[in-house]
Every structure is written in C-alpha cells, then in structure tokens.
Structure 1
Amino acid sequence: MTGSTGESSHPDRGPTLPEELLLLALDPEHGKPLNDASHLRYGLAGAALAELEWAGQVAEGRGGRIIVGSPLPLGDLVLDTALRTLPVPGKGGDVKAKRWVRSAARGIDEVCRQRLEQRDAVRRESRRALGLFRYERLAPGPVDLAGPARTRFKGALASGFADPRDRLLGALVSAVQLDRKLVQGHDRRAVRRDLKALAREHWITRAVAAAIFEDEAAASGG
C-alpha cells in the first residue's frame, strides 16, 4: 500500500473482490462500465461487504441486517472505507444490507477507482460528450490487471465456480447484470441461469439484486 493511505504496514495481497469486479466491468476501449453504472456501484459495495465478511469483520443478522463484529481497520483503502460507514459495535443501531449497499455505493466506487489508479491499472481521463458534458473514463494503465481478472473469471466459468470466492464473484456478476456481457457462447442461457441461482444463495448478493430491482421498478413506474 502507498504511504499516503497510512496503511503501508499491511501486506498487499492484490486486487480485492470489488476491484476485480470493477476490472471485469470496464470496457477497455471506452473506459466505461459495460453494464449500468449504478448497478455496478451497488455490486462494488456488496463485494466490499463480502470481503469484510470473509475477514470476520461482519456477519448476517436478522432480516438481512449487518452485524459488525470488529471495527478495526484491515489496512486496505477500499475495505476500510466500507468499514467506516458501518455502525460501531455496541453503540446501538444496525443497518439492512440493501440500505447500506445504496448509501455506500458511490463512496466505494470512488475508492475502487483510486486503488486501481494507485496500482497503475487505470488512468483517469476527463472527456466531454458533445463538447459540453464532462465525464471521466478509466483508460488502461501500464499494469494489466484486467486481463488476468478476465482470465480468472473464464477459468471459474470452466470449473463451474467451485471455489467459494469465485462463486461469490459469479453471483455478483449476475446480480449487477454484467453476465449479459461477460458470458457468451451457445450455452450462455444455461450459464446465466446457473449464475442467477448463485446470486440467490448469498445474503449480500440478494441485497444487491434487491436494490437494483427496486431501481428498475421505480424507473418503469412500477
């Protein structure tokens, strides 16, 4: 980790799950998400929450609520940002995973971009659409992390997502509807159906999918 984050004493084990999800989602040509940007942000928040669960920092409570076991930082910019937005243990109050995914999404999206920029995996470029509207694209950086991420995802597809981490990544890809872009081939419908089943297995991916469903229902007037 870089000294500017104050986390250099912790070993860097490579891209976290939210960083991997962002790498998979970025269109290398246009530097923008292949799926809906708001859907992706919910997925990044869910991926960060999953990493915190694996680290023993959080667990599932009643009614899809998040139980925080430890507020101690892990030494990772993305995960510690997520942890700071969660209720402090013993001080009352809790939050449902779906609500937290919504509230934390933009902040976690931003720190994921920062972290990939620190890793030299992306470069931020400011552009204007129609010469008027400013937007940001993430161009590929000198360090290729997107290629290995896609290779790992293809390997996970081939193995049927046998590894627990791969299963959750596949579930997140399905929950944010990124599977429509990443899963190709003659058997894509069956594979996407299997991924949707994975997304229903885990409390975090269910929360992500529920937040997206509510957004889509609101947008359609339903």
Structure 2
Amino acid sequence: MTPPPPGPTLPEELLLLALDPQRGRPYCRNRFLEYATAGAALAELELQGWITEERGQAQLVKPLEPPDPLLATLTRSLPAPGKGRRGSGVSATRLVRQAGRQVAGLYLDSLVQRGVLRRETHRFLGLLPYHRHPVVAKDLAAQVRERFAAAERAGFPDHRSRALAALVSAAGLSRFVGTDRTSRAAMRHLIREQWPAHAVHRNVRRDRANQSGGGQRVRRAARGTTVNGA
C-alpha cells in the first residue's frame, strides 16, 4: 500500500494540469475532464490500497471508508468487501461515466474553497451559466507541472507518475503539458497498463464515436437519405 501523498492527490494534480491557469478553462472537453477526474480518484484509491481491479471491475478491499472525504464519496458506489458473489464489483468504465460529474464537481469545489482556484461564473448568450476556474495558487500549479515534466524526462518511473500520465493521455491533454511526440506515444501505451485510464479512454472513445455518428446522420439526412441507406 502506498501512503497518501503529502501534496496534491492525483485528481487535484490532474485538474491543475488540465486547466488553463489564466483563463480557467479546461484544455479538453468538460465531459472528458469529468471522466479523467473520476479515473484519477480511482487511481488514487488503488495507490492508497483501498480498491483493486479484476476483469474490469473495481472492488473495495477494506471495509472502512478512506479518511479523505472526497475519495470516500466514490467508495460508497462500490459494494462492501465480502458482499454479494465472490469477485463482485462495479464496472470501472460505468463507474467513471456515472460518477464523473459529481467527482469533478467535488474536487473543483474543494480547490476553490482552499483558495487554489477561483470560480468565475459566465453566461452563454447571456442566459446559460457556466464556470471558469483560473488558478490562484500559481506556485502550486507550477510545481505540479514541474513534477510531471521531471517524471516525463525520467520515463515515468513509478506507479503514481504512470497513472497520471495515462490519465492525461486518455483525456486528450498530453499535447498541452509540454510533451514531445515520443513522450505522447509512450503515454498512450500506458493507458493499456493503467486500468483507471483505460476506463476513461473507453468513455472518451464512446463519446467521440457517438458524436461522429450523430454528425454523419445529420449530413445524410441533409442529402435526403438515412444512415442505413433506405
């Protein structure tokens, strides 16, 4: 079991890498960032020894909740150890999809409350509200980026850095964190090794496929045909 880190947890590091420090907007789609934040929480729970994975199922291995209240929120979505049939758990892909928005919201709220981020509310077309989160604690954000760059130069030598690199790649963030083409390729390969990142990747890929299919239907409808050519 890896002890809790003295600094930011993986979800917090991910968010600080994903947000434009000045404008406060994510470098990827909001939904992809939600998936990645939930995946980062799963990776943190695994590193701290609270959960494991078997055949795509996230499983609790301890009967008690973790002391971190944000991580504890996610563990409540999992059946207690020993409950149900042997090896029972929750699909990591489904968990990331269902919990992403809540988990990302909780971590953003926490970072705002602690003065790491600032919340700005804007309105789309003057009607629909949305938020931006510029970085206030610029030194902390710079440290996170420096640690990521150092891990990249070292080839992501430990489990924590590999987990973060895989999540960054799965969310489509790798080109925004200063990586070169070789490093981006290495990060893509890490997705296969890191099951939380793989769950994120599957959801991102599903959303992109759905969007592509929707666009195709619109284009074909405009030509007077349907998807199946009828």
**TM exceeds 0.5?**
yes
Instruction: State the number of aligned residues.
Output: 208
TM-score scaled to structure 1, two decimals? 0.87
For residue 151 of structure 1, report the CA deviation from its aligned partner: 1.0
Structure 2 residue 77 is matched with structure 1 residue 85: yes
Kept in 1: contact 2:50–2:66 (CA 8 A): no
* Structure 1 CA distance for aligned equivalents of residues 57 and 64 of structure 2: 20
Aligned-pair distance for 1:163?
2.2
1:151 to 146, 165, 172: 146
4, 14, 18: which one aligns with 2:7? 14
Counterparts of 2:5 and 2:171, CA distance in 1: 27
C-alpha distance in structure 2 between counterparts of 1:157 and 1:44, whole Å: 20
Say which SS state the counterpart of residue 156 (structure 2) adopts.
Answer: coil
Q: Is 1:193 aligned with 2:185?
A: yes
Deviation at 1:214, TM superposition (A): 1.0
Which of the residues 53, 57, 72 maps onto 2:50?
Answer: 57
Match 1:206 to one of 198, 212, 226? 198
CA apart distance, 1:94: 2.5
| C-alpha separation in 2, matches of 1:199 and 1:142 | 30
Aligned to 2:18: 25
Using structure 2 for the length normalisation, give the TM-score: 0.84
Q: How does 1:96-175 map to 2 (within 5 A)?
A: 96-142=91-137, 144-175=139-170
| 1:172 CA drift (Å) | 0.7
Task: Describe the superposition over 1:22-43 as per-residue Cα deviations: whole angstroms up to 9, x where unpaired.
Answer: 0100011221111111111111
Cα contact 2:38–2:99 (8 A) shared by 1: yes
The residue aligned with 2:211 is 219
In structure 2, C-alpha distance between the alignment counterparts of 1:171 and 1:149, rounded to whole Å: 16
User: How many angstroms does 1:164 deviate by?
Assistant: 1.8
CA-based RMSD: 1.9
- Shift of the 116–12 alpha-carbon distance from structure 1 to 2, 3 Å rule, reads farther
For residues 143 and 120 of structure 1, the distance between their equivalents in structure 2, rounded to whole angstroms, comes to 11
Deviates more, 1:137-146 or 1:44-53: 137-146
Please identify, of 109-118 and 40-49, the stretch whose mean Cα deviation from structure 2 is larger. 109-118
> Contact (CA 8 Å) 1:78, 1:112: kept in 2 or not?
yes
Q: 5+ residue gaps in structure 2?
A: 215-230
Contact kept? 1:68, 1:89, Cα under 8 Å: yes
1:34 matched to 2:27: yes
Which protein is bigger by CA-based radius of gyration?
A: 2
CA distance change for structure 1 residues 89 and 199 in 2, over 3 Å: closer, same or farther? same
Q: Look up the match of 1:4.
A: none
Q: Which of 169, 174, 178 is the equivalent residue of 1:183?
A: 178
Counterpart pick for 1:70 among 58, 62, 70: 62
Distance 1:213 1:33, change over 3 A: same
Gaps of 5+ in 1: 1-10
